Amino acid sequence: MSAWVVVAALVLGLGSGILSGLFGVGGGILFVPTLVLLGLGQVEAAATSLLAIMPTAAVGAWRQRAYGNVRARAALVVGLASVAGAALGVQIATRIDESLLRRLFGVLLLAVAGQLAFRAVRQGRRYPDAS
Amino acid sequence: MTVRLVLIGLVAGVFSTLFGVGGGIVVVPLLIGLAAFAPHVAAATSLGAIVVTATAGVALYSVHGEVRPAYAALVGVPAVAGALAGTHMQQRLSGRALSLAFAGLLVVVGVWLIAG
């Protein structure tokens, strides 16, 4: 790994964290393109993004738990059930064409962008004074 | 209720490992829509579930040798500090124009990934 990649990874990681905190989106949506930009393949980027998400999600969950917002039993049921889905996702990701997976991820980004824009416009209508 | 939560978890799991995201993008709206959670409770609960989902995903992908721990640390550790700062900044910076600019950035990245 070159010095350039290390610096770029640190800067993009910090920037991704700021944007995800600011806009309430998950880190993964930004980690994956960051890791692809740094030279990883699409599946490697997805796998590595999941490891990169863990500290942010753990800190976030811990803070939200202190505020009393986490329903622990529901989180556990959703989390444990997700393991079976995760196994299926890995089987699909490691079998399909990597460029198709990258394109599907691009479509996901467009969907998130649409959701954000919709939320912003609706909020703007509800609070017309907020710029 | 439990059946609905299990279904939400299954969908979130597929999404999570297929795309390398936590799954909050599907869990939060489904908890609100199918399980009548308040938005902030849905977002917080989703974070708890994501810790489990991401751990499972990392374990499953490790078997295939796809996880690159050095890259994860370089991106993930500064992201924790960034996320804390971003959440703090949200009080002052949550403007409509800023959200639309961010949506525009995501569109550019999305098109780059689809075309590239």
CA angle B55, B24, A16 (to 5 degrees): 85
Q: Which residues lie below 8 Å from residue A41, measured CB to CB, with a gap of 6+?
A: A98
Number of folded domains that form chain A: 1
- What ipTM goes with this model? 0.92
What is the average per-residue pLDDT within A58-72?
A: 91
DSSP state, residue A127 = S
B17 and A55: CB-CB below 8 Å? no
CB-based contact B44:A64 (threshold 8 Å): yes
All residues of chain B having their beta carbon less than 8 Å from the beta carbon of residue A6 are: 74
Q: Given pLDDT bands bounded at 50, 70 and 90, which one contains residue A92?
A: very high
**What percentage of chain A reaches a pLDDT higher than 90?**
70
Residue B20 CA to residue B46 CA, distance in Å, equals: 16
Residues in A 22-81 with any Cβ partner in B closer than 8 A = 22-29, 31-36, 38, 40, 43-61, 64-65, 67, 69-72, 74-81
Tell me which residue in B35, B44, B67 faces A47 most closely, judged by beta carbons.
B67
What is the average per-residue pLDDT within A110-128?
A: 81
Q: Given pLDDT bands bounded at 50, 70 and 90, which one contains residue A131?
A: very low
Distances (CA, A) of A5 to A37, A78, B45, B74: 10, 36, 35, 10
Domain that holds residue B8: 2-115
- Give the pTM: 0.92
Query: Which pLDDT score, from 0 to 100, does residue B97 have?
Result: 83
Token code pair at residue A46: 């997805």
Query: Which pLDDT score, from 0 to 100, does residue A129 have?
Result: 52
Query: Which pLDDT score, from 0 to 100, does residue A3 have?
Result: 92
Domain that holds residue A101: 3-126
Residue A20 belongs to a domain: yes
Query: Which pLDDT score, from 0 to 100, does residue A119 have?
Result: 84
Residue B53 CA to residue A118 CA, distance in Å, equals: 28
Number of folded domains that form chain B: 1
Tell me the CA end-to-end span of chain A in Å, nearest whole number. 43
A121 has pLDDT over 70: yes
Residue A131 belongs to a domain: no
A86 and B67: CB-CB below 8 Å? no
DSSP state, residue B23 = S
Cα B73 to its chain centre, rounded Å, is 17
Q: Which residues lie below 8 Å from residue B88, measured CB to CB, with a gap of 6+?
A: A21
A90 and B57: CB-CB below 8 Å? yes
Instruction: Report the residue of chain A nearest B84, measured CA to CA.
Output: A21
| Segments of chain B scoring below 70 in pLDDT | 94
Crossing angle of the two packed helices A28-37 and B2-19, in degrees rounded to 10: 20
Give the mutation candidate from B18, B67, B114 for the A interface (greatest A CB count, under 10 A).
Answer: B18
What is the average per-residue pLDDT within A69-92?
A: 96
**pLDDT per residue as tens digits for the range B72-105:** 999 999 999 998 888 888 777 767 888 888 999 9
**CA of B43 vs chain A CAs: smallest distance (Å):** 8
Residue A65 CA to residue A45 CA, distance in Å, equals: 29
